[in-house]
Structure 1
Amino acid sequence: MARLVQASRKSLLSPFRALSLHIFEPNLQFSRHPNRPIPNFLTQTQTTTHLSTAALQKSPFDSNILRLLRKEIQYQSEYAPPHQSALEFNGFIVDDRPGNQWITLRGKFGENETIKIEATMFDGSVVVPKSGDDSTAEDVRLHISLLVDISKGGECDLEFVCSSWPDHIEIQKVYVYQRDGSSKWPYMGPNFRDFDKKLQNALLDFLKARGVNNDLSVFLHQFMANKDRTELIRWLEKTMSLVED
């Protein structure tokens, strides 16, 4: 199995190009006596023709797309305007690359242990019953995929494939990763839920001691909610820029 987040990086949408519509401005010429002044109405006609031609540089189809994009950008910016998220949490430094659908968190544990967490943006959801008196109501819980790399500087790292939910973290897989890349298809081990319950709790405690806990999951969901809004507005603006060119 290929590494989860490395595969998600390659799933980024490829760039697109907007079509350009070329309208040639008519070449208007007026014959006149060299010593005779140009009548005002001819000058006004030339100016009006130039402005009209400039207005026709965009087709009605392109103009409609631009109008809708501007409207959507305004709505998204006013409904829940994005803000500058904190780039540090409980000892982890967040590396957020604009335009990418994943982030990296780096931290340390002890004297010689480094922790690297790669987290995707929201990549799934489940529908669950909504808490309260109305038993028929439903709620949506968003999912974030995590790859947690624990390194002590040796040839191999211990890696955890995890699911981050709004209020907790679940382990899906635990495996040994060779840093030299000699094993392209590492054995991923059994499903985490097939482990003995005591072993499950011990591995969860191992991550919690390193700050990979429920509080981090809450932070990631807040961070990704803001990043999702930011990336959407950035995409709308880039799309509008391509259509305008």
Structure 2
Amino acid sequence: MALRLIGRLGRKPSSLIFNSRPITTLIQNPIQKNSPPQQQQQKRGYVSEMRKTAFEDRICRLIRNDVQYELDRSPLTQLVPKFKSFAIDERSGEQWIRLNKKFGDNEEIKVEVTMFQVSTPPAKDSDVTTANDLELYISMVVDIFKDEENGILEFFCNVWPDSVEIENVFMRAQDGMTGKPYMGPPFDDLDDELQTSLYDFLEERGINDELAAFLHKCMPHKSKNEYIRWMGSIESFVARKK
């Protein structure tokens, strides 16, 4: 009985046999096994940066491919500085251009032209609208000044490939519109003879079918220039490093 008791006392506790490292090592580094090594953290950061760079490079490559496709279709051209007696301001980076001219002794004419818009023809029974049915037109505002004592005669127009269509005509102050001024009735509601006279008024000042045809040739260049400029700005931003 005494020998059995001595034998039991001579055995090492199972908790000390389980791990061959000294207890002091386990106490000094209690969480070393669960924390990722510094090298793994650096590797993960490197892989993440590589993926980010690859993603940005792909965006830049797609942009360059698209720009090259546009340039292959037609070269990039600047707008002409003049059309007849109108001086042209391209308004780089904006969605419109401005034309200016003098007329007579005391008139100044300013024309603001926006990019293309799409007109859908009226729906007809059993008809389906296709891309061939859509028409492009340009919105145009014509301001005619005389002197500081007078207001501004303003025309809102739609410009079609071969004609100018007046939508509204009204007077406004030179310092802009405030509130909700009366802008007159729809142009089509005016007397037919008055409508003709107002078209002649614009015709005499160079706002005519010839200008309409020029704008429909000019604005595609403006649209393309702005598109390529916009794409270049995005590529530059994406490619910029911190």
Normalising by structure 1, report the TM-score: 0.71
Aligned partners of 2:76, 2:50: CA distance in 1, in Å? 35
Partners of 1:227 and 1:127 in 2: how far apart?
26
The correspondence of residues 67-86 of structure 1 with structure 2, limited to 5 A, is 67-86=61-80
| 1:42 match | none
Task: Check the 8 A contact 1:77/1:233 in 2, yes or no.
Answer: no
- The CA RMSD measured in Å over matched residues stands at 2.6
Deviations 1:31-80 (A, max 9, x none): xxxxxxxxxxxxxxxxxxxxx99x93843322221121111011011112
Highest CA radius of gyration, 1 or 2?
Answer: 2
Greater RCO between the two (CA within 8 Å, min separation 6)? Answer: 1
| 1:238, distance to aligned residue in structure 2 (A) | 0.8
Q: Secondary structure, in 3 states, of the residue corresponding to 2:138?
A: strand
- Mapped to 1, the partners of 2:70 and 2:162 lie a distance apart of 26
* Greater Cα offset, 58-67 or 222-231: 58-67
Q: Does 1:200 align with 2:195?
A: yes
Q: What is the 5 A alignment of 1:1-245? A: 56=50, 58-126=52-120, 138-153=132-147, 154-181=149-176, 183-245=178-240
Contact 1:176–1:186 at 8 Å: present in 2 too?
Answer: no
Which of 177-186 and 222-231 deviates more? 177-186
Distance between the aligned counterparts of 2:183 and 2:131, measured in 1? 38
Structure 2 Cα separation of the partners of residues 181 and 72 of structure 1: 41
Change in 2 beyond 3 A, CA 1:183/1:64: closer
Deviating above 6 A after TM superposition, structure 1's stretches of 4 or more consecutive aligned residues are: none
1:85 offset after TM fit, Å? 2.2
Question: Would you say the 8 A contact 2:118–2:134 is kept in 1?
Answer: no
User: Is the partner of 2:134 in helix, strand or coil?
Assistant: strand
Structure 1 CA distance for aligned equivalents of residues 217 and 211 of structure 2: 10
Q: Percent identity?
A: 44
TM-superposition CA deviations, 1:13-32 (whole Å, max 9, x none): xxxxxxxxxxxxx8xxxxxx
Q: Does the CA-based 8 Å contact 2:144-2:153 persist in structure 1?
A: yes
CA contact 2:79–2:90 (8 Å) conserved in 1: no
The Cα shift of 1:149 comes to 0.5
Distance 2:176 2:136 in 1: 32
Partner Cα separation in structure 2 for residue 84 and residue 209 of structure 1? 28
What is the number of residues matched between the two proteins? 190
Which letter maps to 1:144? I
Name stretches of at least 5 consecutive residues in structure 2 with no aligned partner. Answer: 1-38, 40-45, 123-129
**Counterparts of 2:220 and 2:173 in 1: how far apart (Å)?**
33
Structure 1: give runs of 5+ residues left out of the alignment.
Answer: 1-25, 27-51, 129-135
